[in-house]
A and B are shown apart, each in its own frame.
Chain A
């Protein structure tokens, strides 16, 4: 079904099967025909674990998205609401239920909370007088969703804000739960490393949960050698920079949602002769992006500047393959050619798609403004002129570029300077408020609280020390045949990944000073294994590290980790988990204040 999930070192199809089973069990509890009413946000994540066919097999006949007032008509016995535990959704559900009660044949209502039931929501349903209408109120612990052979995400969009702004631990608790599920399926992880306040808490929760779970001894041979928990606020810098890998740029420009991207349709119009370009498609072209597609797996993590040459080489190979048909003389040869045809056609289609996407991206990356922005980012990251008002940022504000873009740059400058001088900060603030509206005081306050945009305190800029010790800026970077992770940002090596790299070799003891500068504690825990389960590594066998980003991870960081996994003498392969796949824009947006 989802073969690409089993390509990696750890077969994530096992997890996918487990969550599918749980879903089937719930559906079967509600006997008879059913309609599902979806919290729209969840349809994406659910799509990754179950297709409609699975639901259909379990008598799901209709699907609706959750909307106010009445439910659409459906001749089914059960109505199942599948929702995140959010108060505003409870209001809509109760509207649905109340208007339903007054007409037509009675149906059974159920509610499935994802990933957790919430007492608060149930109280709201009760206040609205509908709690009693539900036969089943259950939770579906879809904590970690497999996205790819080496990638898991909780897709919890509020996680960063909750953890670092509200200091609410709920999503950390879910992360710990998800890790417990993983350990139940893949064995106890013998070693836990971590850096950051949230990492510490998740480790504590895991240890506590394990203690409470003494009843059954986990007898599965451990697949993971260690776990690295990383707080996003240990590395606030990386997501702010523009990602320069192919996948990263697709995300930056078009936004990848649950492994799908929507693209402008013009480039994908089927080229037919005599069409005269009349009926161009108007609906966005939707493509799924994952390693199941051979070509995409090859180019997704490359620096964008290295993608063009791969595409043109592929084009030559494919057209040569098609030319082969002229050489096929005997029946046997022709037969063989024909048998390869479907694969070749798929490859050609995939090549056409990615050529179009690459063209779209190139239009952006070759623009003057993109170049200017990148120049400023790279100056900041390499430590140039971070302590005064930047004229490009000023220009962006004057020309009213999108606020998120401006905030991203200002935050980047602040992070690369360990905070801005009060005068500089006040200047930016005033310009932003006058141009974009005073209400953004609230957003600026949030950014300050999260440590992204703040005045310099103590008068010392610690970033240069961090940069030099961790070699975050590399002047000679090879984008075509990279030798270092810094290729993903054409010069900047993501701090988070550098920490992972140094942990695996030579160990964190070598960078104690920097670890003390970065926020939060660093620690190591061991989870003892019974002797029978202790691993004896074969010589040359790589360790498998599960790295969990609390508060989000970018595609460029994922690319850098994959690069490390593939290094011949790397010694470590990574499986990546996170609370949410983010980019600078979606991240900043999650911190912006909106009306209630």
Chain B
């Protein structure tokens, strides 16, 4: 079947139909028809009325479901189609009254729970409404509690609603959940403000940024979060979040330009895989160590600047810089990262993260053995050193360490692991044959 276009438009646009929108407070009809029962009732007539009227129009025997009341179906059949779009108006008055019978709050709630037709509109006094709410809460059925809350939200002023819920914690929590669910951010914020739940207020506001895709808009939004009543720790993080995105926008614009211009070697050799926008701080630092390592502190994109602005701990900084420079196989930079000069001008190797970690990271970035060897040698703990050297096949380190430990047995074991006739084997043999060493075993 096909409804005619006119029908269809009337269906979607007719003012009568609109009168049924639940939240439409301005409509004078709403007092009469905007009852919960519209969406509560299950097998009552109003939906099926439409069906029936189509059946009549087309005469194709659409199945009539047996659970409906016969009275309704007859009244429907005799209705004009226009009326059937606003079924409740079309229903005989007497029947309507039947539905809005004098149910007590507890009866009403019980009926709601069973999914039966029930109008809440007749509860007009505040006292009645609250009693209704209390009945619903005592039933524990979240579905019914929410239904009553929707009714209260619509018929009570915000101030009264909040005031009454403040002393009804269960209902209050349901309202908060419900507002989150439907995304009524504004009322939710008002509520938190009223309840003086400042941290939740701040976080709820902040949460909204997740839904803003445009970086500029997101940045502007984050700006509005600064100064909200977060905990002291979180305040600093929120400020950093804003600053970071602000930086990223600048860096992104700049680098996209550089990359497309094709004049900068690093971007030609290593095209960017993704935009830096909305990446975490450490990722941003990695990016900056990768593409902007040598920049002076004055630029927004320089690693040193990031480190200062966000008070990145030395350990974190070294770790990230190491990973980035190792990935580029810039061994010289790696070397510089761990070289410190004392006041006499002597240089010394120092790693705040421990050289064992340095070795692991270098290995992950497939550093050549010569480089690895150098850092394995700097590991202080002998056992760790030996383990790492064995794991990464730094033969010289293993052999020398065994020699220094005067551990003949271990050296013999290692000899069986190296290639026959290799330089390593020769070296081991030379040491084993040396008469200079007093072996401990």
**CB within 8 Å of B: which residues of A?**
29, 31-32, 87, 101-102, 105-106, 108, 116-120, 122-123, 125-127, 129, 131-139, 162, 166-170, 172-173, 176, 201, 204-205, 208, 212, 395, 398, 400, 426, 429-431, 433-439, 441-442, 445, 593-596
Given A120-B150, A441-B203; 7 other pairs, CB 8 A cutoff:
A105-B1, A123-B39, A126-B38, A127-B21, A135-B51, A136-B65, A596-B183
In-complex Cβ contact of B39 among A119, A167, A168, A176 (8 A): A119
In-complex Cβ contact of A173 among B50, B140, B183, B282 (8 A): B140
In-complex Cβ contact of B141 among A122, A138, A173 (8 A): A173
Q: Is B123 an interface residue (CB 8 A)?
A: no
Q: Is B10 an interface residue (CB 8 A)?
A: no
In-complex Cβ contact of A437 among B62, B177, B206, B280 (8 A): B280
Bound Cα distance from A395 to B140, whole angstroms: 46
Find residues 342-391 in chain B having any chain A CB closer than 8 Å to their own CB: 353, 357
Contact, CB under 8 Å: B280 / A436: yes
Bound Cα distance from A478 to B176, whole angstroms: 49
A438 touching B241 in the complex, CB below 8 Å, given contacts A119-B40, A126-B20, A132-B50: yes
Q: Is B173 an interface residue (CB 8 A)?
A: yes
Contact, CB under 8 Å: B142 / A168: yes
Contact, CB under 8 Å: B233 / A135: no
Contact, CB under 8 Å: A135 / B47: yes
Contact, CB under 8 Å: A31 / B147: no
Using an 8 Å CB-CB cutoff, how does the interface string of B34-56 with A read, 1 for contact, 0 for none? 00101110110011101100100
- The DSSP consensus for interface residues of chain A is helix
Contact, CB under 8 Å: A126 / B203: no
> Of residues A133, A169, A204, A442, which shows the largest number of chain B Cβ atoms within 10 Å of its Cβ?
A169
Would you give 23 A-B contacts (Cβ < 8 Å), ordered by A? A106-B1, A119-B39, A119-B112, A122-B40, A126-B39, A132-B50, A136-B65, A139-B115, A167-B173, A169-B174, A172-B140, A201-B140, A212-B110, A398-B316, A429-B233, A435-B282, A437-B280, A438-B240, A438-B281, A441-B206, A442-B203, A445-B203, A596-B210
Question: CB-nearest residue of chain B relative to A429?
Answer: B233
Question: CB-nearest residue of chain A relative to B2?
Answer: A106
Bound Cα distance from A191 to B277, whole angstroms: 59
Number of interface residues of B (CB under 8 A): 73
Contact, CB under 8 Å: A101 / B8: yes
Q: Is B16 an interface residue (CB 8 A)?
A: no
Q: What residues of B have a CB within 8 angstroms of the CB of A105 in the complex?
A: 1
> Of residues A120, A131, A132, A176, which shows the largest number of chain B Cβ atoms within 10 Å of its Cβ?
A132
Q: What residues of B have a CB within 8 angstroms of the CB of A434 in the complex?
A: 280-282, 310, 312, 316
Bound Cα distance from A118 to B147, whole angstroms: 9
Contact, CB under 8 Å: B42 / A439: no
A273 → B minimal CB distance (Å): 35
B39 → A minimal CB distance (Å): 4
Contact, CB under 8 Å: A131 / B39: yes
Bound Cα distance from A118 to B36, whole angstroms: 12
Question: CB-nearest residue of chain A relative to B353?
Answer: A398
Bound Cα distance from A159 to B237, whole angstroms: 30
> Of residues B17, B39, B50, B115, which shows the largest number of chain A Cβ atoms within 10 Å of its Cβ?
B39
Find residues 232-256 in chain B having any chain A CB closer than 8 Å to their own CB: 233-234, 237-238, 240-241, 244
A438 touching B181 in the complex, CB below 8 Å, given contacts A123-B150, A594-B210: no
Bound Cα distance from A170 to B46, whole angstroms: 28
Bound Cα distance from A118 to B150, whole angstroms: 13
Contact, CB under 8 Å: A166 / B237: no
Find residues 275-330 in chain B having any chain A CB closer than 8 Å to their own CB: 278-282, 310, 312, 315-316, 319
Q: Is B146 an interface residue (CB 8 A)?
A: yes
Q: Is B69 an interface residue (CB 8 A)?
A: no
In-complex Cβ contact of B244 among A123, A125, A400, A438 (8 A): A438
Contact, CB under 8 Å: A593 / B207: yes
Bound Cα distance from A441 to B241, whole angstroms: 10
In-complex Cβ contact of A120 among B181, B211, B279 (8 A): B181
Using an 8 Å CB-CB cutoff, how does the interface string of B12-23 with A read, 1 for contact, 0 for none? 100001001111
Question: CB-nearest residue of chain A relative to B23?
Answer: A127
Q: What residues of A have a CB within 8 angstroms of the CB of B233 in the complex?
A: 426, 429-430
B284 → A minimal CB distance (Å): 10
B7 → A minimal CB distance (Å): 11
Contact, CB under 8 Å: B177 / A162: yes
Find residues 216-242 in chain B having any chain A CB closer than 8 Å to their own CB: 233-234, 237-238, 240-241
Q: What residues of A have a CB within 8 angstroms of the CB of B2 in the complex?
A: 106
Contact, CB under 8 Å: B143 / A31: no
Question: CB-nearest residue of chain B relative to A31?
Answer: B63
Bound Cα distance from A31 to B64, whole angstroms: 10
In-complex Cβ contact of B237 among A31, A201, A441 (8 A): A441
In-complex Cβ contact of B178 among A120, A129, A137, A594 (8 A): A120
Q: Is B165 an interface residue (CB 8 A)?
A: no
Contact, CB under 8 Å: B244 / A168: no
Q: What residues of A have a CB within 8 angstroms of the CB of B244 in the complex?
A: 438
Q: What residues of A have a CB within 8 angstroms of the CB of B150 in the complex?
A: 119-120, 123
Contact, CB under 8 Å: A438 / B238: yes
Q: Is B182 an interface residue (CB 8 A)?
A: yes
Q: Is B91 an interface residue (CB 8 A)?
A: no
Contact, CB under 8 Å: A123 / B12: no
Bound Cα distance from A442 to B316, whole angstroms: 23
Q: What residues of A have a CB within 8 angstroms of the CB of B310 in the complex?
A: 434
In-complex Cβ contact of A168 among B12, B40, B174 (8 A): B174
Contact, CB under 8 Å: B143 / A116: yes
Bound Cα distance from A400 to B316, whole angstroms: 12
Contact, CB under 8 Å: A138 / B42: yes
Bound Cα distance from A208 to B353, whole angstroms: 61
Q: What residues of B have a CB within 8 angstroms of the CB of A395 in the complex?
A: 357
A481 → B minimal CB distance (Å): 35
Contact, CB under 8 Å: B280 / A596: no
Bound Cα distance from A230 to B87, whole angstroms: 48
Contact, CB under 8 Å: B146 / A166: no
Q: Is B209 an interface residue (CB 8 A)?
A: yes
Bound Cα distance from A131 to B50, whole angstroms: 11
Contact, CB under 8 Å: B143 / A169: no
Question: CB-nearest residue of chain A relative to B46?
Answer: A132
Bound Cα distance from A119 to B233, whole angstroms: 41
Bound Cα distance from A442 to B194, whole angstroms: 22
Question: CB-nearest residue of chain A relative to B183?
Answer: A596
A290 → B minimal CB distance (Å): 32
Find residues 85-129 in chain B having any chain A CB closer than 8 Å to their own CB: 110, 112, 115
